[in-house]
Amino acid sequence: MPEYQDFVPNQRIRPSLALSPDGSMVAYSGNAGGSFDLWVLSIATGEARQLTELADQAVQQVAWMPDGKSVVFSADRQGDEQFRLYRVDVDGTNLGELSSGPDCQRILATVPFDAAGRYLAYAANDRDEAVQDLIVRDLADDTERRIVPPAEVAFEPASVSPDGKWLLAAGFRSNTDVALYLVDLEAGEEPVCVTAEFGGGVFEPGPWMADSAGFYLLTNLWSEFAAAARYRLGGTLEPVAQHDWDVELIDTAGDALIWSVNEAGRSTLHASGGGEAVGLPEIPSGVVTSLALAPGGRAAVVLIDAATRPVEIAILDRDSGFRYLTDGRPPALHVVEPAAPESITYPAAGGRRVQGLLYRPHRPGPHPVLLSIHGGPEDQERPRYVFSGLYQHLLNEGIAVFAPNIAGSTGYGSAHQKLIYRDWGGVDLDDLDHAVRYLRSARDLDTDRMAAMGASYGGFAALSCLSRLPYEWAAGVSLCGPTNLVTLARECPPTWKTFVATVLGDPVKDLDYLTERSPVTHADAIGAPLLILQGGRDPRVPRTESDHFVDRLRERGVEVAYEVFEDEGHGFSQRKNELRAYEQTAAFLTRHLLAKG
């Protein structure tokens, strides 16, 4: 029978594709070489070349210089989230740093250059660690213009207009409170919020129109779900695509427009040309995480992830159809039939229904079951090849997986998303309780052999299940999961303070609630075996909190497997660490879930 390593894809690709100006190459961050380095891929031949070997650094964002001769990228060191900016020629030579000053959080604009490639736009918190400024760097004379955001707003640059006059930026207060700002790069005036007149909500920046007369955006102005819209510089806003689900990604080339829609987790693509709908070739069932329309508008490059095939770069051509440009399938997928999930809904409190993905092994049941909880909490469980093949390995071993989209999840309207605000461990835990009730009603599932697992927020939620829900758990797994919400609120990245106060709570004002909902408060109720994995350099979940939590459990004789990855932060940037962590998780879960079988 295949081992876990047989399900591991050849590489993971981060969701930051960049199409070269002439449409011939794609730049991306992939870990085929062991860590996340910069690669370029020829669309014509599918040949991929690695441009960097950064050792203990990991590439995050990528963008092309306007002349197509070099690529800029951001990279942090061992997961510390202190990103610096670099440029390298497309042949891998002349690697050099573009950023200056101290380590800090730097965010590249999606389109960071003017047409001439002289000005570079990004955000940084180098002036004040709690404030994310916009910076426009003159690469010719090495000077900077700094744009300071309004109070309690975090700026994130989006793109420079084709004529070089405007910088479009988002101003975040939370994931459900995002406004759009324009900076006049010629006049040197203060940024102007162009969405204020339309009220609050979400206004996410999209690409500019070719004539710089306006830009596209995503907004929930007209319903619970995000629509695609067009803003003209005269101040008008009009919808261009509305669906009964969220529009997620949008791109344009000339008069061609393409966008993706999140339909219960699965991505569907739509297009128009000259204002008329355009038919597109069918794509595999999965999730499109990056989308770039080629010059001329007849082809698009996508990053697509599926439950039954790892994330790949592909091209969607209106003339020749859909074609994968990469093949990251591991050996097991050539001999084992992967299991696709079933989309189900179950009842929750207040008459709500919660959607989730239920993966069943191909063999007859009853099956032990893993309750897998996504991170965020404002994320969404979708049909993807998650945890580098862990789901498919467990399914092949005979273990079912249930992954619900509880309160706080995105994709089901802003009201569902906001339910968890300042209520962590409340409505979300109640939804997880109802998830277990649903699983107990399924005849082919054995909830006497049940585990809970999650990463980041999902780790917190898994620990909450084990400590606060009245069920016998066979095991639990927490990957970089916070155990103390007070510490999480206090130790968050400085630029996140307003966001965290809105979504989680204030560590001073909300001390009682955060303490009561923290897994460490209920640690004495945990009796199930636990696997806890922690990054030694995690800037969000301090190692000392996990150390303390593990000591508390071990003092009571609870079985705890604990490993600290000294050269990682909040998650895994190095392939060897990631695979070690997931291999441990696979062995731990199969040992405890199959022991009674």
Every domain of the chain and the residues it spans: 339-593
Euclidean distance between CA atoms 355 and 403, whole angstroms: 9
Euclidean distance between CA atoms 165 and 183, whole angstroms: 8
- Taking alpha carbons only, the member of 37, 4, 123, 52 closest to residue 573 is 37
Euclidean distance between CA atoms 275 and 240, whole angstroms: 9
Question: What is the full DSSP assignment across 133-169?
Answer: EEEEEETTTTEEEEEPPPTT-EEEEEEE-TTSSEEEE
Euclidean distance between CA atoms 521 and 539, whole angstroms: 22
Are the C-beta atoms of residues 290 and 13 closer than 8 Å to each other?
A: no
Angle between helix axes 575-593 and 390-397 (nearest 10 degrees) is 30
Per-residue confidence (pLDDT) for residue 70, from 0 to 100 = 95
Per-residue confidence (pLDDT) for residue 596, from 0 to 100 = 61
Q: What b/e string do you get for 166-202 counting C-beta neighbours within 10 Å, with b at 16 or more?
A: bbbbbbbbbbbbbbbbbbebeeeeebeebbeebeebb
Per-residue confidence (pLDDT) for residue 540, from 0 to 100 = 82
Per-residue confidence (pLDDT) for residue 597, from 0 to 100 = 53
Per-residue confidence (pLDDT) for residue 342, from 0 to 100 = 96
- For each of the chain's 597 residues, which pLDDT tens digit applies? 789 999 999 888 998 899 999 999 999 999 988 889 999 999 999 899 999 998 788 899 999 999 999 999 999 887 778 899 999 999 999 999 988 888 888 999 999 999 888 889 999 988 988 888 999 988 888 888 898 988 888 899 999 999 999 999 999 888 788 999 999 988 877 899 999 999 888 999 999 999 999 999 999 999 989 999 999 998 999 999 999 999 999 999 988 999 999 998 999 999 998 878 888 999 999 999 999 999 988 899 999 999 999 999 999 998 889 999 999 999 999 999 999 999 999 999 999 999 999 999 999 989 999 999 999 899 999 999 999 899 999 999 999 999 999 999 999 988 999 999 999 999 999 999 999 999 999 999 999 999 999 999 999 999 999 999 999 999 999 999 999 999 998 887 777 778 888 889 999 999 999 999 999 999 999 999 999 999 988 888 889 999 999 999 999 999 999 999 988 888 887 888 989 999 999 999 999 999 765
Q: Which DSSP letter does residue 117 get?
A: S
240 C-beta neighbours (distance < 10 Å), count: 17
Per-residue confidence (pLDDT) for residue 56, from 0 to 100 = 82
CA 18 to chain centre: 17
List the structure tokens of 519: 């897994």
Topology of domain 339-593, per CATH?
Rossmann fold (3.40.50)
Task: Kindly state the greatest CA–CA separation across the chain.
Answer: 72
Euclidean distance between CA atoms 383 and 338, whole angstroms: 12
pTM of the model: 0.89
Give the dihedral sign, CA 430/431/434/439. Answer: negative
What are the φ and ψ backbone dihedral angles of 543, each rounded to 5 degrees?
-60, -35
List the structure tokens of 103: 């380590």
Relative to beta strand 530-535, strand 475-479 is: parallel
Euclidean distance between CA atoms 142 and 135, whole angstroms: 12
Q: For the chain, give the number of residues.
A: 597
